[in-house]
Chain A
Amino acid sequence: MTQYIVKKLFQALLVLLIVTFISYLIMELIPGDAVDFLLGLEATPEKAAALRASLNLDKPFVVRYFIWLGGLFRGDMGTSIFYNDSVANILVKKLLVTFRMGFAALIISTAVGISLGVVSAVNRGGFWDNLISFFANIGISIPAFWLGILFIILFAVKMKVLPVQGYTEPSADFWMHTRQMVMPVIVTAVGALSSMVRQTRSAVLETISQDYVRTAREKGLRERVILMKHVLRNALIPILTLLGMQVRVLFGGVVIVENIFAVPGMGRLLVNSVFNRDITVVQGCILIMGVVVIIANLLVDISYGFVDPRIREIKDVA
């Protein structure tokens, strides 16, 4: 198992290198750089050149990438050109906001998704199955930004039960924080929840028709015991796989949702920094997202082994 984790971490490192390099390259290819934005109308060729030199922006792109990478190995994520603060400092504040939101969405989508999926599978072809499947299909096809706007119009503008947008620290006003978070969290969770429902439904249906479930039934066990003890654990593998992917999808969703609801999290930071050509902040965001996604998938991989002894064995060998 340790060998397996080491191998996976090694692969993850390679992936991170490639991802950050590509994002650096893309930022380079976008016309204009931070200096144009910083100087604005006051720009003269001399001033710009001097500023570029002081910011290392006159060096070739590959060299700059390696300077950034070198800093990373010393624990230095660089300094933001725009905010004039260390990237690590900026990220820590924003990360907390995003994590809180993303985590809430993940918990909700997983718990509700699995429960509804099981209900749907057990009542296959019945009323509840049809109802749940219907909404799950809608949930998958609705774009988050559209649903977000719809929610704002409905709950904030028409019904006036929730604030339109904005963000309050939970330490400052917890009630306000919760009310502000309801819509962004739900909008983020809907897509993930729907795919979780569908995945759970098909996994449970697949498992229910297996021979060993027939054996369990033949033993005289109650349907509920069969479901909890024999079916769910076997259905968990495809559900876990989806869970690993959900983390990535949720991150993508957060970037959009944060912008709709004006939540000052990492998604918003990333979008603003791209516009500001604040390359170190962009790199920092990408790196953090990459690390989180990789850790999530590694956790999923490890948990396979706990769920299924056969996989445990394969990993011990590999």
Chain B
Amino acid sequence: MDKTVLDVKNLRTEFRMRRYTVYAVNGISYDIHPGEIVGVVGESGCGKSVSQMSTLRLVPSPPAHIEGKAVYEGKAVYEGKDLLEPSNGEYLRSVRGGKIAMIFQEPMTSLNPVMKVGEQISEAIRLHMKLGASEARARTIELMKKVRIPDAEERYDSYPHEFSGGMCQRLMIAMAMSCDPDLLIADESTTALDVTIQAQILEMLRDVVRETQTALLIVTHNLGIVARYADKIYVMYAGGIVEYGRASDIFTAPSHAYTIGLLNSVPRLDDDKDRMLMPIEGFPPNLQSRPTGCAFIARCAQKLPECESRPEFPLRKVWEEHYSSCINDRLDRSLRKSDTLFEAKKLPDETLLEISGLSKEFPIKKGILFKKTVGNVHALNDVSLRIRRGETLGLVGESGCGKTTLARSILGLVSPTCGEILYQGTDLTKLDKKKTREMRREIQLIFQDPFASLDPRMSIGGIIGEPLVVHKLTSGKTEYLKRVEELFVMVGLDPSLRDRSPHELSGGQRQRVGIARALASEPSFLVCDEPVSALDVSVQAQILNLLERLQRELGLTYLFIAHDLSVVRHISDTIAVMYLGRIVEQGDWKTLCEKPVHPYTRALLSAVPIPDPEVERTRNIEAVKGDVPSVSRLPSGCSFHPRCPYAEAGCAAAVPELREIEPGHYVACPVAEAARAANTASGSS
């Protein structure tokens, strides 16, 4: 294994802006061997993507300034050339796309919208392999088949907008594989995709790479993905590599305080429910000055006295092929159990919110002058739910499954086509405007995007205090200020931030502002729509812990909507799984996660990677085929049947009803139910 494909030495990337310089990558060295799968993990802004793009000189320069060496050796050539040497420009272009190919994060925007997809792939083939138009076309179609694009011949002449996100990412992979590269760099290439699609894509990538002995470098923030696929892992923080080693060593014996922090802050599907998430407090440095000493020191919970004074933290060997820059060799790796959090939670059997038969259709309109309704988008289809006081109901599902429409219906932001939403006995769908406004005191929303959901021109104090003014909840200036300060403290924000604007705050701080604003009117029910999906894992843990603490202190009830099953599992008492506007399975978290019945729930669970290579090795991945169909063209019968591995002839005929198979556990799949019954029968006999 001494042959390397790419050998990067002391890579530095600085963005020299007019007023300041961002030290994005600070002297990192790494190498990749043929056929190896390498993972580069870290939070946003740690320089993981910039370093990859720097080696191919894909960062705009100026302002970027790149130093160091990136020697490409390839599989066959023994005399490598430095890609970063300015005089090797021509050589670099022949390597880009030809020998080293990249797959980017946003598949939909990474393809040229006005060019046929086949052309976009064959363009690189013609350039690097010097093939003629018809040969390049034939090779393109072959590649499109290889990445499992249905009807490849016909789809050659399609445009990117005619493909789904998952399909676009397959096309990007076909493009990247088109010239038999030696190294494939997947830069967060599945982050924008749904979990089942993510699993499909990654499985395919691994198969392709294994088959062709191509090296694969996966850049991601998702620890589960590297645990599932990587052989070797580099952990980056603040523009530097803080630890690297074999995947199994990194996960079983993490040797940097940051790696440990990262592992302890993510909820896992196989966690004990009472495990406490241990967030890394504080925020990563902004890198506008060159980091000296240990970059993690400000957030480190396990620093030693000598950490403060040491000027340099070079990577040192801690084990065979395992290096870390942390000097603490007695790191505490244990996970903590929460003491009071879950055992104390006893739910009264008092219904707070009850939804029954809720449906929402959005009409599709066509016509020259007079619009006619030509079809309906069935966003919600006969949804029924019951949420008890003090409970957290987790709602999971992939994009387009109707989670957000359900949240909006509860808040009265969309009016449902039929069905009722009873909140403490009052039907929310029948309230007039004035009553709806009053009801919003009781029911509040926490938004997904903490960047877009705060008015950039208002002060933080103003944003948090606005509900107090709107609902006339305080009398007099002193009471108002006192209450605002109280809210700041409640969500763990420094009240001195009161006069700042949202753009001065980090993502985690902004999400705290969003929570404080929601709490201002003292609601008893909070709808949290993907409240942590835009945040880094270490900050995500902070917010999840905050939500749990607030629930305990204020007796709140949550509807927690998310696509990340491990997060939902961590926070929820009851979980409902949605697919294309219907609830397909519902039950308490334990039953649902440990004994799922519906094939879709099982697929979802197995698609979520667990950040532990040992566990991953023994897991059986139940990959589902195909894409999520469009809600405007729902499949007949059970919507999941075209993708379902257990589908039978009857599945396309009738919509399965949601039936209670044991107390509190509802499933809408007669096939799985029958199989389960047969299993239990044979098990007991």
Residues of A within 8 A of B (CB): 3, 6-7, 10, 209-212, 214-222, 229-230, 233-234, 307-310, 313, 317-318
Contacts and interface: CB of A to CB of B under 8 A. Distances in A.
Given A211-B106, A307-B114, A220 B127 contact: yes
9 contacts: A7-B368, A214-B104, A216-B112, A220-B94, A220-B128, A221-B123, A233-B115, A310-B113, A318-B366
Contacts of B369: 7, 10
Nearest to A217: B58
Q: Enumerate the 9 nearest inter-chain pairs by beta-carbon distance, A residue then B residue, closest first.
A: A219-B97, A220-B97, A220-B96, A211-B109, A212-B112, A309-B159, A219-B124, A211-B110, A220-B93
A220 B114 contact: no
Contact of A218 (B101, B112, B159): B101
Contacts of B93: 220-222
B102 interface: yes
Contacts of A218: 56, 58, 96-97, 101-102, 104
A239 B170 CA distance: 33
B102 A309 contact: no
A210 B106 CA distance: 11
B267 interface: no
B337 interface: no
A220 B98 contact: yes
Nearest to B112: A212
Contact of B113 (A216, A221, A309): A309
Interface in B167-187: 172, 175
Sort chain B's interface into a size bin.
Answer: 20 to 34
Interface in B98-128: 98, 101-102, 104, 106, 109-115, 120, 123-124, 127-128
A69 to B, nearest CB: 23
B177 to A, nearest CB: 12
Given A210-B109, A214-B58, A218-B102, 15 more contacts: A3-B368, A6-B368, A7-B369, A10-B368, A211-B110, A212-B110, A212-B112, A215-B111, A215-B120, A217-B96, A219-B97, A220-B127, A234-B112, A309-B159, A313-B161
The residue among A10, A216, A308 with the most chain B CB atoms within 10 A of its own CB is A216
B114 A233 contact: yes
Contacts, number: 80
Nearest to B96: A220
B366 A308 contact: no
Secondary structure of the A contact surface, majority rule: helix
Interface of B: 56, 58, 60, 93-98, 101-102, 104, 106, 109-115, 120, 123-124, 127-128, 159, 161, 172, 175, 366, 368-369
Contact of A220 (B95, B112, B120, B161): B95
Contacts of B96: 217-220
A212 B111 contact: yes
B113 A230 contact: no
Contacts of B112: 212, 215-216, 230, 234
Nearest to A125: B62
B113 A317 contact: no
A300 B94 CA distance: 39
The residue among A212, A216, A230 with the most chain B CB atoms within 10 A of its own CB is A212
Contacts of A7: 368-369
The residue among B58, B101, B115, B175 with the most chain A CB atoms within 10 A of its own CB is B115
Contact of A212 (B109, B159, B366): B109
Given A220-B93, A221-B123, A310-B159, A215 B114 contact: no
A309 B112 CA distance: 11
A3 B369 CA distance: 11
The residue among A10, A220, A221, A310 with the most chain B CB atoms within 10 A of its own CB is A220
B70 to A, nearest CB: 15
Contacts of B58: 214, 217-218
Given A218-B97, A221-B123, A309-B161, A317 B114 contact: no
A234 B111 CA distance: 12
A220 B114 CA distance: 19
B95 A230 contact: no
Contacts of A215: 104, 110-112, 120, 172, 175
B115 A230 contact: yes
Nearest to A312: B159
A7 B366 CA distance: 13
Nearest to B95: A220
A126 to B, nearest CB: 10
Contacts of B175: 215, 219
A219 B368 contact: no
Contacts of B120: 215
A211 B160 CA distance: 13
A221 to B, nearest CB: 7
B307 to A, nearest CB: 39
Nearest to A223: B93
A251 B29 CA distance: 63
Contacts of B113: 212, 234, 308-310
Contacts of A220: 93-98, 124, 127-128
A221 B90 CA distance: 10
Contacts of A216: 112
B130 to A, nearest CB: 13
A221 B104 CA distance: 17
A218 B127 CA distance: 12
